[in-house]
Amino acid sequence: MRLRTIDDLGDLAGRRVFVRVDFNVPLIGGEVADDLRIRATLPTITELLERGAGLVLASHLGRPKGEVVDDRRMAPVARRLEELLGRPVEALEEVVGEAVEAACSSLRPGEVALLENLRFDRGEEANDSVFADRLAALADAYVDDAFGASHRAPASVVALAERLPAAAGRLLQREVEVLGRLRDDPEEPYVAVLGGAKVSDKLGAIEALVERVDALLIGGAMAFTFLAADGVEVGSSLVEPERFDEVRRARKLADERGVLIQLPEDVVVAPEASLDARRGTVRATEIPRGQMGLDIGPRTVEEFARTLADARTILWNGPMGVFELEPFSAGTRGVARAIAAAPAFSVVGGGDSLAAVRKEELEGAFDHLSTGGGASLEFLEGRELPGIAVLEEGP
C-alpha cells in the first residue's frame, strides 16, 4: 500500500490547504483535558505552515448529531492549539457559510483558521455532496491527518478527498506504516493485550489477531464473557451471553493454531463500580454472587508481565478494569508498566490505554501511540478503511 503524501502535493506556498484533523478531545470546564490528539498532528500542521500554506483545519467533536451544542464548540480546542503552535488560530463560529468563505479566502501564508464542529452540520455524517462542495471551495488542496476518522466515510474524509488534490498527513502516514507492520510483518513472539467493557466491540479484532499473534492476553470486563462461556460463575460481572458461540469459536481457532489465550487468574471485585465500594481480590473462577469483577488482580498482572517480557512485538488496546476509578486502576497501570519494560516494538491505542500511559508518564517507553481507537482495530482486521482507500496510489 502506498499513500499519496504531502510530498506529492508540490509547491504549497501561497495555497490554502484544508486539513482534516482529529481533535475529538475531552473537554472539562470549557478547557481541553487531554491534548494528545492535538499534539499528534502538530508535525503535519507545522510542516504545511513552513512550506508557506494557509490552513483551514476541521474536526468533529463529540456526537451533536447535526445540532449546535454549545459545550461541543471548537473554541477551546483552538485556544489550546494556539498555545502549542505559538501563533494565532482563528476559531470560526460556523462550519460553512458566507462568513466562513470570507475568512478562508483571505487566509495568508502561515495563517490558521479552525472551522466550527463539523458535526454541527448534518451534511458531514451524511456524506452530503453539496456540503462537500462547500468545504472544497474553502481550499486549494486537501490533507487528511485524522486516522481516527478513517474507518468512516463522512464528507470531510472521503468526498472532500475526491474533490481536491489530496494527500495523507504525517500522522496518518505513520499510523498506516506502523499498523501495517503489525498486520503484515510483526517480529515474533507477537503478543496482543485486549481489554475494555464489551467483547462484541473486539470480536473481529480477536479473530484476526488469532491468525497472527503468539499470545492473546484478555482483561477488562470482556474477559468475563470468555470465562462465562466456559461455564465459570462470574457473579454479577458484565457478560454478553449472545457472544458465547463466537467466543468459543475464537478459542477453538486459537487452540488449533497453538495461540495462547491468557485470561485473568484473579480479579478485584466489589458490589458496584464506585469509589467507596467495599472491594476484595478473589480467584477469577470464584467470584461470589452479588459481586462483580472490576479489575484484574495482582497475580494476573504478574502472569501477564511474564508473557510480555518475552515478546518482540506488543499491541495493547483497552483497559484492564474500570480504570477511571482509582480503586480499580492498578491492573491497567501494571500492564502499562510491564509493556514499557518489555524489549519489544510496542504500540498502544484506545483512549483509556493512552490515558494510563500518560498518567504513568510512559509515553517515551512506547514506540507508537495510536490515535485511531476503532480505526486501528479495523485496520488490523484487514478491512478496507474508506479514508485510507481514497488516498491510495493507483496500480
Residue 86 has pLDDT above 90, yes or no: yes
* Burial label, 167 (beta-carbon count in 10 A; 0-12, 13-18, 19+): buried
Q: What is the number of other CB atoms lying within 10 angstroms of the CB of residue 231?
A: 7
Residue 248 has pLDDT above 60, yes or no: yes
Residue 285: the pLDDT is 95
Residue 395 has pLDDT above 80, yes or no: no
Residues classed as catalytic:
37, 198, 351, 374
Query: For the domain 6-170, what is the CATH superfamily, name and number?
Result: Phosphoglycerate kinase, N-terminal domain (3.40.50.1260)
Residue 394: the pLDDT is 60
Amino acid (one-letter) located at 50: E
CATH 3.40.190.10 for the 178-381 domain, yes or no: no
Is 6-170's fold the same as 178-381's? yes
Residue 287 has pLDDT above 70, yes or no: yes
In this prediction, residue 201 has a pLDDT band, given cuts at 50, 70 and 90, of confident
Mean pLDDT of the chain, nearest integer? 95
Residue 351: the pLDDT is 82
**How many whole angstroms separate alpha carbon 279 and alpha carbon 272?**
9
**Terminal-to-terminal C-alpha distance of the chain:** 10
Residue 338 has pLDDT above 70, yes or no: yes
Q: What is the domain partition of the chain in residue ranges? A: 6-170, 178-381
- Helices 244-257 and 203-210: crossing angle in degrees, nearest 10, is 10
Sign of the CA dihedral running 5, 155, 33, 362: negative
In this prediction, residue 224 has a pLDDT band, given cuts at 50, 70 and 90, of very high
